[in-house]
Structure 1
Amino acid sequence: MVSKRLVSRQGGDVVQGIAGKVALVTGASRGIGLGIAQRLVDEGAKVCITARKQDVLDEAVNQLGAANAIGIAGKADDPAHREDAVRRTVETFGSLDLLVNNAGINPVAGPLIDFDLGAARKTVEVNALGALAWTQEAYRAWMKDHGGSVVNISSVSGVKPAPMIGMYGASKAMLISLTETLAVELGPTIRVNAVAPAIVKTAFAEPLYQGNEDGVAAKYPLRRLGVPEDVAGSVVFLLSDDAAWLTGQTITLDGGITLAGGH
């Protein structure tokens, strides 16, 4: 017998287990985060998006639809902002079933041997500890009693060495480790997974390909860079019931570049 889920997917219907759910996506006023939020809304979810600037968030909410989304501005590493965003999400939409930890920074590039330790601490604080703190907040407010699914946005630089962005990569490697440990600790009612994208065409990653996109893309077996929709599809799959037996996993989204020996 073919499962109803398989029939639904083959028929082009929405991903199972997303419609009617409530999600919070950090760092989602543009780029990968906004792409994920848009896909979630398209699949029938309600979404809270966060970022630093309220005016940019307001534009994103208009794109998503005011009935589908709210935007709450603040710094990802601010405890008061995290508490406020989670509380208002539950108050507005009635639950918090899905969490995507997308907020990240890369304030300084350069060799680790010369890296400013203050910048290193800030990178780890936002990229790794911030994701842990958002997960703790969502757990206490809703997921502890009701279950849920979490996806962390890591990076291929957390999977293999990435010279010149080594501290960013180290923070993303820590995030993968946190993903695995949380998956063990929070099962069976909460699943925790991650994705590790290579270069995705966003303002954040633009310095890595600006002025030479064709040359950079030529190193990828799929001969193109990623786009936010590529990441969004995998994230929504991991959040959905279609991934109900997946936890503690990191999907490398890289167009084949790591297999080809690149970064």
Structure 2
Amino acid sequence: MSGLDLTGRTAIVTGASRGIGLAAAQAIAAAGGNVVLTSRSQESADAAAAQVGGGNALGVAAHAVDEVAARRCVETALERFGSIDILVNNAGTNPAFGPLIGQDHGRFAKTFDVNLWAPLMWTALAAEAWMGEHGGAVVNTASIGGLAHEANLGLYNASKAALIHLTKQLALELSPKIRVNAVAPGVVRTKLAEALWKEHEQAVSDLTALNRIGEPGDIASAIAFLVSDAASWVTGETMVIDGGQLLGDVRPFRNGAGFGV
């Protein structure tokens, strides 16, 4: 599909030192795009850019909620590549585990600062610097947790539910120049999600319709599609990529049970 060609376009990917962010940067670069990868430290940002390879990848140290660093990153992207056509708001955190009423304000503030305020701030900076005049595409990394309820992850899921709402609001406010969408991954093999799969991967796979947990590349492929011209009439959407996890427990349907056998 020619619409997937990103040659000449420049993307900023936040939280790109590993996992979904790094895979998204690699997918965009593979489609011909220039990529600016952010991480908390310059060392990890440089290492991530080296994994993308070539002269079209640049690492920049920028904590997601540091506005000064974010502005510097935007300026650096424009100086190096001349445009900011794509923004992937991937940086996320989850310092809170347990019932909602057991959380303190510090954990609440950190969760919502990184998972909600940062995507809004980076989108505003990109729109102000380039996209507002020239157009562009934004993708926010949400979660299927933002579409459901589960024990012990209420605060994180609330931040992702808010991010899904924010995605739709920004899609309206920034139209028609800027498209804004989100991806909602299920359980993916990332460090952030380790508690959900590392000690019981087979059990999670057994509950999943497609019989495996996700890989960062599964989400990256969807992100590359959403920022491309192949998705030029898509905005305000949240694409669920979860192997069927939201469908529920697949085990009763296995071994032919789903066909009335």
| Residue of structure 2 in register with 1:22 after alignment | 10
| Residue of structure 2 in register with 1:3 after alignment | none
Q: Is 1:207–2:195 an aligned residue pair?
A: yes
Q: Is 1:43–2:31 an aligned residue pair?
A: yes
| Residue of structure 1 in register with 2:19 after alignment | 31
Contact 1:195 1:251 (8 Å CA) reproduced: yes
Deviation at 1:161, TM superposition (A): 1.0
| Residue of structure 1 in register with 2:66 after alignment | 78
Moved more, 50-59 or 128-137: 50-59
Deviation at 1:261, TM superposition (A): 5.2
Looking at structure 1, the residues matched to 4 and 211 of structure 2 have their Cα atoms a distance apart, in angstroms, of 31
Question: SS in structure 1 opposite 2:58?
Answer: strand
Q: Is 1:174–2:162 an aligned residue pair?
A: yes
Question: SS in structure 1 opposite 2:239?
Answer: strand
Deviation at 1:145, TM superposition (A): 0.8
Question: SS in structure 2 opposite 1:106?
Answer: coil
Do the aligned partners of residues 261 and 179 (structure 1) sit closer, same or farther apart at CA in structure 2, a change above 3 Å counting?
A: farther
Looking at structure 2, the residues matched to 245 and 133 of structure 1 have their Cα atoms a distance apart, in angstroms, of 24
| Residue of structure 2 in register with 1:5 after alignment | none
Structure 1, residues 204-241: CA drift from partner, whole Å, max 9, x if none? 11111112111111100000000011000101111010
Q: Report the residue type matching 1:43 in the other structure.
A: A
Contact 2:208 2:249 (8 Å CA) reproduced: no
Q: Report the residue type matching 2:232 in the other structure.
A: A
Identity %: 47
Pick aligned residue for 2:134 from 109, 125, 146: 146
Q: Is 1:245–2:237 an aligned residue pair?
A: no
Looking at structure 2, the residues matched to 87 and 107 of structure 1 have their Cα atoms a distance apart, in angstroms, of 31
| Residue of structure 1 in register with 2:113 after alignment | 125
Gaps of 5+ in 2: 251-261
Looking at structure 2, the residues matched to 129 and 183 of structure 1 have their Cα atoms a distance apart, in angstroms, of 16
Looking at structure 2, the residues matched to 231 and 116 of structure 1 have their Cα atoms a distance apart, in angstroms, of 32
| Residue of structure 2 in register with 1:191 after alignment | 179
Deviation at 1:66, TM superposition (A): 4.4
Gaps of 5+ in 1: 1-8
TM-score, normalised relative to structure 2 = 0.93
- In the TM superposition, 1:93-104 aligns within 5 A as 93-104=81-92
RMSD: 1.2
Deviation at 1:198, TM superposition (A): 0.7
TM-score, normalised relative to structure 1 = 0.92
| Residue of structure 2 in register with 1:157 after alignment | 145
Looking at structure 1, the residues matched to 185 and 195 of structure 2 have their Cα atoms a distance apart, in angstroms, of 16
Contact 1:26 1:49 (8 Å CA) reproduced: yes
- In the TM superposition, 1:64-75 aligns within 5 A as 64-75=52-63
Question: SS in structure 1 opposite 2:76?
Answer: helix
Q: Report the residue type matching 2:248 in the other structure.
A: A
Contact 1:15 1:43 (8 Å CA) reproduced: no
Deviation at 1:15, TM superposition (A): 4.7
Pick aligned residue for 1:233 from 221, 225, 232: 221
Deviation at 1:162, TM superposition (A): 2.5
Deviation at 1:74, TM superposition (A): 2.4
Question: SS in structure 1 opposite 2:161?
Answer: helix
Q: Report the residue type matching 1:102 in the other structure.
A: N
Looking at structure 1, the residues matched to 191 and 101 of structure 2 have their Cα atoms a distance apart, in angstroms, of 27
Moved more, 104-113 or 132-141: 104-113
Structure ranking higher in helix proportion:
2
Runs of 4+ in 1 over 3 A off after TM superposition: none
